Chains A and B, each alone.
Chain A
Amino acid sequence: MNGSFRQSMAWLHTWTGLVFGWVLFAMFMTGTATYFRPEITRWMEPETGPPASYGATANAAVAHLSKVAPKAKSWSITLPDERQGVTRVSWQPERKPGEERPRRRGRGQNQATLDAATGEVVKARDTRGGEFFYRFHFQLHYMPVIFGRWMAGLCAMFMLVAIVSGVITHKRIFKDFFTFRPKKTAQRSWLDAHNLTAVLALPFHAMITYTGLVTLMGLYMPWGVQANYKSDQAYFAEVFPQSEEIPRSGVAAPLAPLPLILHKASDAWGGGRPWIVNVSNPGDATARVEVTRHSGDKLSYRGGSLTFDGVTGAMISESPKAGPVNVTGGAMYGLHMGRFADPVLRWFYFLASLAGCAMVATGLVLWTVKRRQQLPDPEKPYFGFRLVERLNIGTIAGVPAGMAAMLWANRLLPVEMAGRSAWEVNAVFVGWGGMILWATLRPTRKAWVETLSAAAFLVAALPFVSALTTQRNLARSLMTGDWAMLAFDLTLFALGGLLAFCAWKAARYTAPVKPKRRAAKLAEEPA
C-alpha cells in the first residue's frame, strides 16, 4: 500500500474492523454470555430446581426411560452437574427394516427433562435458554446454519487480521497499557479506551479468535483431512472410532445398575465425572453403555469415553488415546469453550470477553469520532458516515437490549403459547432492530442517550420482572443459598448500571471545539 508498513496496517485495521464490526460485536456479546450458558438456561427455566450431583439421578433416568421407551434403539442421558439442576433424557426408536436413518428431531420429541433431586418429569417452559446465545455466536440466525457459520468464520478471520494489524500499528503497545487520557480530546480518549480494552486482554482476544476458528476448522479448512483421507468418514472412523451397531438379540436381560457403571467409570478416570450416558439396545442381552467424561474435567474438550457391557456392567473398551497434536487441538477447543474453568477463572473469562465487546464497540465509535472532525460540514455528514454512526448506536445499545428482550419474553410470554421459544428468539431481533430504528430517527446525541438508557432499563429491570412473574427472585435465591441465581440477578444490575453509566457519559459529553487551523488542514486530507 501507499505509505509505510505501519500506515498500511492502520488502514487495514480500520477497515477490516469496521466491515464486520457490528456482527463481531453481536458475536462477542452472545459469546460472552455463553460462559454462563447453564446458568442462563437455569434462569430461563424457572420451573427447574437447584444443581445436584449426578449419583442420585441415574436410577430415576433409567426408570423413566424404561417406562416410556423400553424397546428403544438407544437412550441418551445427560447428567446434572454443579451448574445444572436437571437430567435431560432422550431416546431413539428402533428403526423399522428399510427405514432411513431418522433426521435429527427438534426439541420436544422423544425427550424429557427430569428434576435432578426427585427424578420427576419437569414441565419447563418452552425455551432455548442459553443455547440460543451459544448457537448465535457462531452461526447467527434467520439463515441456513452452514451459511451462518461461514459468515461467523469470515468475521473471525477479519478479527484475526484486525488483531495482527492492530498489534503492528501499535509500536508503543506496552506503554498503551498504562495510557488513558479521559480528559484529552475525544479522539485521544476513544483511542486510549480502544487500546486499553484491546491490550489489556490481548492474549485473550487472540486466543479466543484463533481457537474460535479451530472449533469449526473441519468446515473452514477441510483440506488437511482431505489430503490424507478419501472421506470425512474415513477420518472420523480413525480418530473417533464408533462401536459398531449390534442388532438386538431378542433375549431380554435387565440393565446393570447404572450408578455402579458410573462409579466404575469415575474410578477409571481417577475421580473424573461422567456426563453423557448412551445406552444401546436397552433391556436386551446385547446392551452396551457408553459413558462420556464431563467436558469440564480437563482442559481438553474431548474427555474420552468408556464402553461397558450393559448386562454385566464390565468395562469393554476405552476410546483410543489421541496423539499429542490431536490433544493440542482438543485443548484449543477446550480453551475456547472455557468449560474447564472453575468459577473464579470463569469470571475472568467473562470479564476479558466483556473487554472484547468494549474493544469492538470503542473501535467502531472511534471510526466516527476520528472522521467527525474531518467532515466538511459536521451538521450534514455524508451518507456513509451517517450509516456507520446509526448502526453503531443501534448495535452497541441494541445487542444488549435485544438479549435482555429475550429474557423479558421468557418471563412475559404465556407459558402455553405455541412457538414460544421461537418468539423468545424473535424478541432479540425485535429489540435490536428497534434500537437501530430508534437510532435512525433521533439526533445523534439523543439517540445515544435514549437507546443506552433503554438498554440499561431492559437489563436492570429483569430481576424485578422475574420476581413478579416467577419463583426466581433475589430474596429467595439468598435464602436458599442459590448463589448462581443470586449472582445472575446481581450481574444484571451491574450490567444495567454499566449501560446507564454509558448513557450518562453520552449525555454529559461536549464535543471538542474544532481549531480552525487544524480544520483547514484536515479538509485537504480525506481519510
Chain B
Amino acid sequence: MTTSTTLAAPPATKAKSAKAAKPPPWRRRLDVAARGVAAIFLGYLFAALTTAVLARVLPGPRAEASMAATLLSFAVYASVAVWAFADAKTWRVWLGLTAGSGLLAAILWLSLTLEPRL
C-alpha cells in the first residue's frame, strides 16, 4: 500500500539504497517463512498458553475466568502475529515466543500442580 509514497523518493538514491539494503531473494523468502511459522504456530502456542494461564489466575468463578481468557485469546494471537512481522529481527521473534511460551508453560504447570482441575 505504501509503494506510491516510496516511489516519490528521488530515483537515484532510492535505487542505490534499495540495492545496498536488499538481501538476496532466498534470504528474504526464508525470513518470511520463518516469521510465518513463528506467527502461525508459535503464535498459537503462545496464545493458547496465555489463555490457559489467564483462565487459572484470573479472579472470580472458574467459568468466568475461562470465558474471559478465551474471549481475549484472539486479541493475543493477532497481536503476536503482527509483532512477528513488525520486529526488525526474526531471531528476536522466535526467542521471545519460545521463551515466553516456556515461562507460561511453567506457570501453568505450577498452577495445575498446586490446584488440580475438577
Contact = CB atoms under 8 A, between A and B. Distances in A.
Interface residues of A, number: 56
Contacts of B28: 2
Contacts of A518: 7
Given A157-B74, A164-B78, A228-B117, A10 B86 contact: no
B18 A525 contact: yes
A16 B62 CA distance: 36
A235 B66 contact: yes
B113 interface: no
Interface of A: 1-2, 5-14, 157, 160-161, 164-166, 168-170, 187-188, 191, 210, 213-214, 217, 220-221, 223-230, 234-235, 238-239, 323-326, 328-329, 332, 370, 518, 521-522, 524-525, 527
A466 to B, nearest CB: 41
A329 B71 CA distance: 7
B68 interface: yes
B7 A521 contact: yes
Nearest to A166: B1
Contact of A325 (B48, B64, B88): B64
A217 B55 CA distance: 14
B48 A326 contact: no
B62 A228 contact: yes
Nearest to A17: B1
Contact of B78 (A161, A328, A370, A521): A161
B81 A224 contact: no
24 contacts: A2-B21, A5-B86, A9-B85, A10-B1, A157-B81, A161-B82, A164-B78, A191-B4, A210-B75, A217-B71, A221-B70, A223-B52, A224-B52, A226-B52, A227-B55, A227-B66, A227-B108, A228-B66, A239-B63, A325-B71, A326-B67, A332-B71, A518-B7, A525-B14
The dominant DSSP class at the B interface is helix
A368 to B, nearest CB: 14
Nearest to A169: B1
Ordered nearest first, which 10 A-B pairs have the shortest CB separation? A227-B52, A224-B70, A224-B69, A224-B55, A228-B62, A227-B55, A223-B52, A325-B64, A323-B64, A224-B66
Q: By CB atoms of chain B within 10 A, which of A8, A13, A191 has the most?
A: A8
Contacts, number: 151
Given A235-B63, A325-B67, A9 B74 contact: no
A1 B94 CA distance: 14
Nearest to B84: A12
A240 B23 CA distance: 56
Interface in B6-60: 6-7, 11, 14-15, 18, 21-23, 28, 31, 35, 39, 47-49, 51-56, 60
B114 interface: no
A223 B49 CA distance: 7
Given A161-B78, A165-B82, A221-B73, A323 B1 contact: no
Interface string B90-118: 00000000000000000010001000011
Nearest to B57: A227
Given A217-B70, A221-B70, A228-B65, A157 B78 contact: yes
Contacts of A234: 118
Given A169-B1, A227-B66, A521-B14, 7 more contacts: A12-B85, A160-B78, A170-B1, A191-B1, A217-B74, A220-B74, A224-B65
Contacts of B22: 2
Interface of B: 1-4, 6-7, 11, 14-15, 18, 21-23, 28, 31, 35, 39, 47-49, 51-56, 60-71, 73-75, 77-79, 81-82, 85-86, 88, 108, 112, 117-118
B60 A325 contact: yes
A9 B83 CA distance: 9
Contacts of B64: 323-326
B110 to A, nearest CB: 12
B86 A217 contact: no
Nearest to B31: A1
Contacts of A170: 1
Contacts of B18: 524-525
Contacts of B112: 227
Nearest to B4: A187
B48 A223 contact: yes
B74 A210 contact: yes
B2 A169 contact: yes
Nearest to A525: B18
A329 B2 CA distance: 37
Contacts of A370: 3
Contacts of A326: 63-64, 67
